[in-house]
Amino acid sequence: MTTPTFDPTSDGQLADPYPTYTSMRDRCPVLHERNRNVLVVTRHEDVLRVLHDPATYSSESAVKAAAGPEADEVKQVLAEGWSLTPNLTESDGAEHTRLRVAVNRVFTPRRVAAWEPFIRQTAEDLIGRFAADGETDIIGSFAWPFPLHVVAGILGIPPGDVPLLRQWSHSWLRLSVGGGEVAERVECARDTIAMQNYVMAMLRDPGTAGEGLVASLAADRGPDGLDDVELMRVVMNLIIAGHVTVTRSIGNGLVSLLEHPSQLAALRDGSVPAEAMVEEILRFESPVQGLFRTVTRPTELAGRPLRPGDRLMVHFGSANRDDRALANPDTFDIGPRAGRNMLAFGHGIHSCLGAGLARLQLRVAIPLLFDRLPGLRLGPPDGRRRERLVIARGYDELRLCWEVP
């Protein structure tokens, strides 16, 4: 029996990675992927085991997909700014707790709920810009700008700076995930430094941040008193993690609903709550497919011995399709089981800080798109292009059409 090949950026797996994940779970649940020198953990039970044992599985370099040292040219540019880590995602133990406690104090469920009118208005305004056109690339016209305007508004960043945030975030991610040409990484490093300086300027002069979350964080630094650099990393985490994930969920969710008309009908006639739809779109095509952990002490997982320094990829996208945790996981079903054992937001101490905000945005935006764009349907097949990424699943382009009176 041959070992399955994990290659989510190949054409075949980009189109449909799920048969490969099924065979990995069945035959090789901790699979060594040689190119990236990483062990891919695909079963729901094993993913949970790793996430709940942060002492054995460190979050240092949790977003770094490419192995190997950084080029000197890139290091030189980065030396002009502040270290990118430890940030929330890539920290452990007491360091992580310090950061998380400080941000939890200002990012409360009550505050998130109060943002709903602003979120709805942001979605309405953006849809108003293209509703009369009858067709659009929904990724460019809505799925990118919507969560970025939301996160910018929440933080107190002026809407005019949103295009900068998009470019900087893209660069930070490219740099943190690793890989690519050195010249491109140098540019990404420059953008990252520009983003650091921008956020630092807001923190040092909180008046510029209006009444947003940046001003709140600067005023209430938590019981341990985070310094400006720590806060700057927290704010960058919020900006980056807070939009690319929602962008991908919107694209993935629209395609899942349009390809399953009976499920869309159930959402439209109100027989299923929008909350259940959100859980199922996140489970079915998880926007964050996987992130990384580093083994700190000898252990074993699914019968495989692990040594300190081994790198694991915890595969949320596969765990969410594991029939050991959920019956018929390859069926898109927004019915009562939606949300059961769902791991798209991770689990344990690093579980998504913005899950409530993400759910709210998706619950508002997706039904609104169907309300405002009558007869919404998929455009031509060549108007759909997937992002070629190992850690994420989404679209670069997604053309949709609808009726215009």
Closer to ligand HEM by CB, 81 or 153: give it: 153
Decide: is 312 part of the binding site for ligand HEM (CB under 6 A): no
> Which residues, numbered 385-404, are part of the site for ligand HEM (CB under 6 A)?
none
Q: State the nearest-atom distance from the C-beta of 164 to ligand HEM, in Å.
A: 18
Q: In 3D, which of 191, 291, 276 has the Cα closest to residue 241? A: 291
C-alpha to C-alpha distances, 311 to 65, 91, 177, 241, 345, nearest whole angstrom = 10, 15, 14, 22, 21
Binding mask 187-216 for ligand HEM (x = CB under 6 A): ------------------------------
Sequence-ordered strand ranges (E) for 76-151: 135-137
Q: In 3D, which of 290, 287, 276, 283 has the Cα closest to residue 250? A: 287
Q: State the nearest-atom distance from the C-beta of 383 to ligand HEM, in Å.
A: 23
Q: In 3D, which of 127, 135, 129, 132 has the Cα closest to residue 377? A: 135
Closer to ligand HEM by CB, 151 or 326: give it: 151
| Stretch near ligand HEM under the rule CB under 6 A, chosen from 8-16, 204-212, 345-353, 366-374 | 345-353
Q: What is the size of the binding site for ligand HEM (CB under 6 A)?
A: 28
Decide: is 143 part of the binding site for ligand HEM (CB under 6 A): no
Cα–Cα distance, 74 to 63 (Å, whole number):
18
Q: State the nearest-atom distance from the C-beta of 382 to ligand HEM, in Å.
A: 27
Contacting residue, 30, 193, 266, 291, with ligand HEM by CB under 6 A: 291
Closer to ligand HEM by CB, 4 or 290: give it: 290
Closer to ligand HEM by CB, 357 or 373: give it: 357
Closer to ligand HEM by CB, 267 or 291: give it: 291
> Which residues, numbered 47-106, are part of the site for ligand HEM (CB under 6 A)?
59, 62, 88-89, 100
Q: State the nearest-atom distance from the C-beta of 405 to ligand HEM, in Å.
A: 33
Q: State the nearest-atom distance from the C-beta of 318 to ligand HEM, in Å.
A: 13
Closer to ligand HEM by CB, 5 or 85: give it: 85
| Stretch near ligand HEM under the rule CB under 6 A, chosen from 15-23, 190-198, 303-311, 340-348 | 340-348
Binding mask 234-263 for ligand HEM (x = CB under 6 A): ---xx--xx--xx--x--------------
Decide: is 352 part of the binding site for ligand HEM (CB under 6 A): yes
Contacting residue, 25, 350, 386, 393, with ligand HEM by CB under 6 A: 350
Decide: is 151 part of the binding site for ligand HEM (CB under 6 A): yes
Supply φ then ψ for residue 329, to 5 degrees.
Answer: -70, -15
Q: Is 111 exposed, middle or buried (0-12, 13-18, 19+ CB in 10 A)?
A: middle
Q: In 3D, which of 355, 170, 348 has the Cα closest to residue 278? A: 355
Ramachandran sector of residue 295 (left: φ over 0; alpha: ψ -120 to 50; beta: rest): beta
C-alpha to C-alpha distances, 72 to 78, 185, 189, 199, 320, nearest whole angstrom = 10, 11, 12, 25, 39
Sequence-ordered strand ranges (E) for 223-363: 290-295, 299-301, 304-306, 311-315
Supply φ then ψ for residue 97, to 5 degrees.
Answer: -60, -45
Residues that bind ligand HEM (CB under 6 A): 59, 62, 88-89, 100, 151, 237-238, 241-242, 245-246, 249, 282, 287-288, 291, 316, 344-346, 350-354, 357-358
